[in-house]
Amino acid sequence: MSRLAQHPVIEFVRGKKISFEFEGRKLGAFEGETVAAALHAEGIRYLRSSPGRQRAQGFFCAIGKCSSCLMEVDGMPNVRTCITLVRDGMVVRRQKGKGELLE
């Protein structure tokens, strides 16, 4: 867990406590957090395995621009998890490769 409990300048107003699934594990999060931030708070930085060289990658820009945080969310591939809000019951998977369109 690496959420800041207190900060000298900022007061964090966190949303409702919710839970989501990552690779079969149930994780906690707060409403209003992005998927990437919620995963990071749980110590998960490795978000996808790159299509070409199968390298571990995480986010870089956190504003939806650099595309290195693409994950499979509720069955949809290539979701930019750094700008997608986590929802209760969401199923998040580490994306391997370019993303499958057909089951």
Partner 1 sequence: MSCLSNPDLLVVGAGPAGLYAAIEAASAGLTTVIVDEGISAGGQLVKQTHKFFGNEDFFASVRGFDIARRLLKELSNMDHVHNLQESSVIGVYEDGIPVLHLPSDTTRLLQPERVIVATGASEKFLQFDNNDLPGVYGAGAVQTLMNQFGVMPGRNVLMVGSGNIGLIVSYQLIQAGVNVKAIVEIADRIGGYEVHANKAMRMGIPIMLRHTVIKAIGTESVEGAVICEVDENFRPVASTSQELAVDTICIAIGLNPSIELIAQAGGEVKYIPELGGYVPVRDDNMRSTAEAFFVAGDVSGIEEATTAMIEGRVAGLTVVKDLKGNTDLKKLESLKRELVAFRNGPTSARIREGLRKLGIVSSSKEHQYGNPNNPEKYMGKMRPVIECYEAIPCNPCETSCPTGAITVGENINDVPVIDYEKCNGCGICMTECPGLAVFMLRELPEEESALIGIPYELIPLPEKGEKVHLLGREGETLSDGVVQRVFKSPNKTHGVYVKAPAEIAGEVRGVSPVSKTDNTYVCRCEELTVQDVEKAINDGYTDFEELRRRLRISMGPCGGRTCRLNTLGMLSRKTGRPIEEFAPGVLRPPSIPATFRSIAGQEGAKDE
Partner 2 sequence: MNKSASVVIVGGGIVGTAIAYYLTQKGMKDVVVLEKSYISSGATGRCAGGIRQQWSESSNVRLAMRSVRHFENFKKDLGADIEYIQGGYLLLAFDDEEEALFGKNVAMQRGEGLDVSILRKHEIQYRFPYILLDDVKLASFCPTDGHANPHLANFAYARAARENGARIYTRTRALGIDVTNGRIAGVETDRGHIQTGVVVNASGGFSHEVGHMAGVDIPTESFRHQIMVTEPVEHILDPMIISFSRNFYIRQTFSGNIMMGQGDEDDKPSFNHDPSWRFLTEMARKMPQLFPFLKNIRVLRHWAGLYNMSPDAQPIIDKAEKVSDYYCAVGFSGHGFMLAPAVGEGLADWIIHGEPQEVDLSNLGLDRFTGEVVRERNVV
Tell me which residues touch partner 1 (CB under 8 A): 2-4, 6-10, 12, 14, 32-34, 37, 40-41, 45-47, 50-53, 55-68, 70, 78, 82-85
Distance CA 16, CA 13 (A): 10
- Tell me the number of residues near partner 2 by CB under 8 A: 11
Sign, Cα dihedral of 90, 26, 70, 41: positive
Q: From partner 1, partner 2, none, which one binds at residue 32 (CB under 5 to 8 Å depending on kind)?
A: partner 1
Burial (0-12, 13-18, 19+ Cβ within 10 Å), 47: buried
By CB under 8 A, name the one of 77, 85, 93, 94 that touches partner 2: 77
Stretch that binds partner 2, among 9-17, 31-39, 71-79, 83-91 (CB under 8 A): 71-79
Residue reference for tokens 């995963």: 39
Q: From partner 2, partner 1, none, which one binds at residue 98 (CB under 5 to 8 Å depending on kind)?
A: partner 2
Distance CA 27, CA 34 (A): 13
